[in-house]
Amino acid sequence: MKYTLSLLILCIACTLHDRDSRPVSAVPAAGSGTTDSAAAAQAAKDSSKPVPLSTDEQLAWRKRLPLPARCPEYDPDPSDPDSFGARVLVLREKQTVVDARCMLGTYQPSHLVFLWDGSAAKALSFPIYQTKSPARTPTRREVGELWGLTEFDASSKQLKVFNKFRQTGDCGWWALYSFPEGAVKIDEFHLKADCDGTDPMNPQHWPSVAIQ
């Protein structure tokens, strides 16, 4: 609670500053628009949810990132809480993880994730496990673009990713990443390769993959 209140005070202070002169590695600002205030209030109740950025702040973050041309322009829709262009997770001073949406996709978007040190953005890659059939042992590889539904946990400083193999969400993988010293570390990885129609809402309890 104390942390949340501090965040809100800092955020209010941030909105009073000139945006261009504001240090971007600072604590993310609360939404300044009326449509964001409900989300900000909700986030304030739940310390695990980062305070959402206003659409202007999201646009400003995207301008700072080396997003490739294939990522469409962010078209803000303040009425839709599922629409976002950028989210941030402040790790510590001069270390902010930025999740920028790239393609909207069919039923799950893609994301490019960067580490911002206050002056430059470094693209992060993420280890995942994959298998071509449920019977095979998953193999590890690195991906630079995350497809799926992402969510920051502000209290644990982690990123949750749910990648659905099909839209119904009964198969896919669910992963939890942390960022010690700004590097990507995989904390949990759950994989269900069998699209059998069961357990679509509980991916964090799917079979766990032993992290190598």
Partner 1 sequence: MSLDASLVTVLGRGSRGPLVTKLQNYFNSYENPHPALKPDGDFGKGTEDAVRAFSKQNDLSTGLILFGHESWKIIGRKIGFLSVLTDSELPLYIRLIMLSPSPPRIDVYPEVFLALYRTAFGSTPTQQQRQGLTTLLQKISQDSDITDVRWAAYMLATVKLETAHTFTPVAEFGCNDANTPVCTPVTLKNGNVVSRAYGNPVPCPNLSLKPPIACPNGKQTHTYYGRGYVQITHKGNYKSLGQQIGLADQLVHAPERALDPDIAYSIMSVGMRQGLFTGDKLSDYINNVDCDYNNARKIINPGDTGTYDMIAGYARKFQAMLEASLK
Q: Which residues bind partner 1 (CB under 8 A)?
A: 70, 75, 77, 79-83, 103-110, 130-133, 143, 145-151, 160, 162-172, 193, 195, 197, 200-202, 204-205
Using CA atoms, how far residue 12 sits from 56, 58, 159, 181, in Å, is 15, 17, 25, 28
Non-local (6+) Cβ contacts of 210 within 8 A are: none
Q: How far is the CB of 186 from partner 1 (least distance, A)?
A: 16
Comparison of 20 and 80: residue with beta carbon closer to partner 1: 80
Comparison of 37 and 130: residue with beta carbon closer to partner 1: 130
Q: How far is the CB of 212 from partner 1 (least distance, A)?
A: 18
Q: How far is the CB of 164 from partner 1 (least distance, A)?
A: 8
Q: How far is the CB of 21 from partner 1 (least distance, A)?
A: 32
